[in-house]
């Protein structure tokens, strides 16, 4: 697959981002202009890697709406509209769904189930799903019933130290996981190769995969060096402002192959 086969759905940084949900971080002022210029640069990196970038309309009344990843789980066969764990985020899902239905058949997580896309990590035909403060057993059971019949193996991972599973672990390819072992029980990844982050950079376990390339936050020089030493092709972005809203690289887009 070439990178050009990928779609990246994004949404602009809303005026209200300063009122975002925060779970593990204290609130610090977000520079809106800088957040926007970093987000524009993020979009241009996606384009430079060959993604077709689709920008959804801004949702200024939804402070976390730039973090589109949490609204949708896209697999080869179908897409799952999530039911975000934070009630303030539930209405973000509808406008993402309007665009997604042109690419995949849509199914949805139903109340009272809760799942955020940030808790769903795909590596090949394995889907790791975090049970976190946002995603619960009811939501996970619904997801299992949706994805196992289409041939995915779902593995539950208990998440304690961070917001989402993908805050602490992301896939580098179909068989390798970048992870922060301080935040996750790595026994969930048995059978996969693990690359540990630089322990001085706990938030560096989140990278986005676009074909043979990775997008990584330039802030995390130690972990990025480990990725380079592992012969990974990396494109760097700066997301210091969205990081204050507990966001990172994957959360700001929904990335998927147009024709898997
Ligand atoms: C939230 O708490 O929902 C947002 N402030 C951050 C969401 C980040 N999303 C992600 O990691 N997938």
The rounded distance, in Å, linking the Cα atoms of 172 and 195 is 9
Give the atom of ligand 1 at the shortest distance from the alpha carbon of 69.
12
Instruction: Report residues whose beta carbon is within 6 angstroms of any ligand 1 atom.
Output: 20-21, 23, 64, 67, 69-70, 86, 89, 118, 163-164, 167, 245-248, 251
The rounded distance, in Å, linking the Cα atoms of 208 and 31 is 24
pLDDT digits (tens, 9 = 90+) for 171-228: 999 999 999 999 998 999 999 999 999 999 999 999 999 999 999 999 999 999 999 9
pLDDT digits (tens, 9 = 90+) for 80-89: 999 999 999 9
pLDDT at 161: 87
Most informative mutation of 26, 89, 118, 166 for ligand 1 (most atoms within 8 A of CB) = 118
Report strand pairing: 176-179 vs 193-196: parallel
pLDDT digits (tens, 9 = 90+) for 155-177: 999 998 899 999 999 999 999 99
pLDDT at 4: 52
Phi, psi of 18 (to 5 degrees): -60, -20
Residue nearest to atom 8 of ligand 1 (CA): 247
Residue nearest to atom 1 of ligand 1 (CA): 21
Q: Based on the number of CB atoms within 10 Å of its own CB, is 155 exposed (0-12), middle (13-18) or buried (19 or more)?
A: middle
Most informative mutation of 22, 163, 180 for ligand 1 (most atoms within 8 A of CB) = 163
CB burial of 174-184 (b: ≥16 within 10 Å; e: otherwise) equals eebbbbbeebb
Region 18-43: mean pLDDT is 98
Is 251 a residue of the active site?
Answer: yes
Q: Is the pTM of this model over 0.75?
A: yes
Q: Which run of H or of E encompasses 107?
A: strand 106-108
236, pLDDT greater than 90: yes
pLDDT at 34: 98
| Percent of the chain whose pLDDT exceeds 90 | 97
């Amino acid at each position: 697959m070439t990178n050009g086969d990928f779609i990246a759905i994004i949404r602009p940084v809303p005026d209200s981002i300063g009122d975002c949900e925060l779970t593990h971080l204290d609130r610090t002022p977000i520079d809106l202009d800088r957040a926007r210029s970093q987000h524009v640069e993020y979009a241009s990196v996606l384009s430079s890697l060959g993604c077709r970038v689709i920008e959804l309309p801004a949702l200024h009344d939804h402070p976390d709406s730039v973090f589109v990843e949490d609204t949708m789980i896209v697999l080869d066969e179908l897409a799952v509209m999530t039911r975000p764990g934070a009630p303030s985020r539930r209405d973000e899902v509808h406008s993402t769904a309007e665009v997604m239905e042109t690419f995949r058949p849509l199914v949805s997580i139903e109340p009272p189930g809760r799942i955020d896309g940030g808790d769903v990590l795909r590596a090949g035909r394995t889907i790791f799903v975090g049970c976190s403060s946002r995603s619960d057993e009811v939501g996970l059971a619904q997801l299992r019933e949706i994805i196992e019949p289409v041939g995915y193996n779902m593995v539950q991972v208990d998440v304690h130290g961070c917001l989402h599973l993908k805050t602490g672990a992301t896939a580098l390819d179909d068989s390798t996981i970048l992870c922060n072992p301080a935040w996750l029980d790595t026994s969930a990844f048995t059978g996969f190769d693990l690359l540990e982050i630089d322990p001085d950079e706990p938030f560096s376990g989140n990278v986005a995969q676009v074909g043979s390339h990775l997008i990584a936050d330039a802030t995390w020089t130690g972990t990025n060096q480990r990725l380079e030493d592992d012969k990974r092709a990396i494109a760097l972005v700066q997301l210091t402002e969205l990081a204050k809203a507990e966001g990172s690289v994957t959360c700001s887009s929904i990335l998927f192959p147009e024709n898997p």
